[in-house]
Amino acid sequence: MLGRAPGKSTTVAARQKYNHKYWREREIYRRERGRGSSGQQKDSKETAPGWMGPTMPLSKKAQSPSSGLGLTHGLSPLYREAEAADLSLSLSASFSKAEDEELTSLSWLHESTDLLNSFSHSGLRSVSPLQDSDGHPLPPHSPTSSSPDPGDPSPYDLAMGANRKPPYSFSCLIFMAIEDAPSKRLPVKDIYGWILEHFPYFASAPTGWKNSVRHNLSLNKCFKKVDKDRSQSIGKGSLWSIDPEYRHNLIQALKKTPYHPYSPGLVTPSTSPPGSPQAYHSPPLWPGSPFFRKNGGVLLQVPHGVIQNGSRIRSQSLFPVIRPLPISPVGSRTTAIKICSGRLSDSGRRCSPLPLPLPTPQR
DNA sequence: TGATAACTAAACATTA
DNA sequence: CTAATGTTTAGTTATC
Ligand SMILES: [Mg+2]
């Protein structure tokens, strides 16, 4: 007994072999042993045929105590539009894989057809209401003294949702960070930087989140190291990028997020909009996407509990922190998050220089 | 309940 | 050597 799960190699090569497989087997292994795990997290099962992968996207949760999730009943969260534009490329490719997630692709494809024009009415305005009406966008309040995030059951007290853990999973955070980069590639250090810049929560976060970021980069299939040419003289590590094959997965995950991102107005400009009140929730705007900048760099953080929206929204518990993105260069030189100024065409499709990683599609 | 996605901690390994 | 990076195991938590 006891012998470590599958794998236990000590060599790099062997280790690389594992990876995703590990996750699947891990569950089996544990289950076999009799002890398993339990619990759950995630929300849409249909997206995952078997297992989507390791730390794959999907799912969100953000650990909000309220629990509830609006469309939790899984399925049909309304995916649509936006992807068409951005995913166009990965689209075709997704079918060649057929391994684990192709199913996913199908699903989204399906859905997308349905809600084509969905809500286009105000795209990015979700920000308005919140605006901490009372003023005080959260004071600096001390960085705390103890552990600010754990289960601290004192949500209502400190009214600032500022330092609340963002509703995005690490995968999403990383995704947004990379997408926000001009070249779609960032070294881990800059990923940290992006996250810190946009989510103050981590500024004082104890630690460990960086570990999680790295862990995610490695484990998640969506993220690939680009490395190779030593042109950029980056220090230690290499640049990370989003694997186009899986990009839509990340987008999907993001869409399940409270204030999700991709906005509607992109794909079909005019179209009729109000067609049906998708009421569900239409939370557009998110940092990282082109819209983000378009908005002048506004970023909002979700409070915690907003997700429910359809079911039981606890009054105005949402006080997103809307803060103008300061154009200050954080500090890392390598950084590239310069928040460009202007630019951004209406077409949204401004990516000419694709990263083009995928050195060896072997998996 | 069981499955699964995500978080967290930590033990290595690799490399600048 | 040290520290930043990467990989990989494991335990736990939360939701369906
Ligand atoms: Mg990876």
Task: Return per-residue pLDDT of chain A as tens, 363 residues.
Answer: 332 333 333 333 333 333 444 455 555 555 554 433 332 333 332 232 223 334 444 333 333 333 322 222 222 222 223 333 333 333 333 333 333 333 332 223 233 222 222 222 222 222 322 223 222 333 333 333 333 333 333 332 333 456 778 889 999 999 999 999 999 999 999 999 999 999 989 998 888 999 999 999 999 999 999 977 765 677 889 999 999 999 999 998 988 876 665 544 333 333 333 333 333 333 344 443 444 443 433 334 433 333 222 222 222 222 233 333 332 333 333 333 333 332 322 222 232 232 323 333 333
Which residues in 167-226 of chain A line strand B, with CB less than 7 A from it? 169-171, 206-209, 211-212, 215-216
pLDDT for the residue numbered A232 = 65
Name the amino acid, one letter, at A177: A
What Å distances lie between residue A42 and A37, A45, A58, A95, CA to CA? 15, 8, 7, 24
Nucleotide at minimal C1' distance from the A172 CA? B6
Which bases of strand B have any atom within 7 Å of the beta carbon of a protein residue? 1-16
Which bases of strand C have any atom within 7 Å of the beta carbon of a protein residue? 3-16
Going from the Cα of A15 to the center of ligand 1, the distance in angstroms, rounded, reads: 13
Taking every pair of C-alpha atoms in chain A, what is the biggest distance, in angstroms?
A: 64
DSSP per position, A45-75: STT-SS---SS-S----TT-TT---GGGG-S
Nucleotide at minimal C1' distance from the A208 CA? B8
Q: Which two tokens stand for residue A265?
A: 């107005």
What is the C-alpha to C-alpha distance for residues A12 and A92, in angstroms, rounded to an integer? 33
Q: Provide the whole-model pTM.
A: 0.52
- Taking Cα atoms as reference points, which of A325, A288, A357, A342 lies closest to residue A86? A288
Which residues in 10-39 of chain A line strand C, with CB less than 7 A from it? 12, 15-19, 22, 26, 30, 37-39
CB of A310 lies under 7 Å from some atom of strand C? no
What is the C-alpha to C-alpha distance for residues A248 and A28, in angstroms, rounded to an integer? 28
The H-or-E segment that residue A124 falls in is none
CB of A67 lies under 7 Å from some atom of strand C? yes
DSSP per position, A62-123: TT-TT---GGGG-S-----TTHHHHHHHHHHHHHHH-SSTHHHHHHHHHHHHHTTT---SSS
CB of A41 lies under 7 Å from some atom of strand C? yes
Question: Under DSSP, is residue A111 helix (H, G, I), strand (E, B) or coil?
Answer: helix
Distance of C1' in C14 from CA in A346, Å: 40
CA atoms A172, A244, A125, A136: torsion sign = positive
Burial of A5 (0-12, 13-18, 19+ CB in 10 A): middle
The gap from C-alpha A177 to its chain's centroid, in whole angstroms, comes to 9
CB of A150 lies under 7 Å from some atom of strand C? no
Q: Which two tokens stand for residue A264?
A: 């509607």
Instruction: Name beta bridge partners: A214.
Output: none
Name the amino acid, one letter, at A24: R
Which DSSP state fits A65? T
Distance of C1' in C11 from CA in A308, Å: 29
Return phi, psi of residue A250, to 5°.
Answer: -65, -40
Going from the Cα of A219 to the center of ligand 1, the distance in angstroms, rounded, reads: 5
Distance of C1' in C13 from CA in A81, Å: 33
Going from the Cα of A129 to the center of ligand 1, the distance in angstroms, rounded, reads: 38
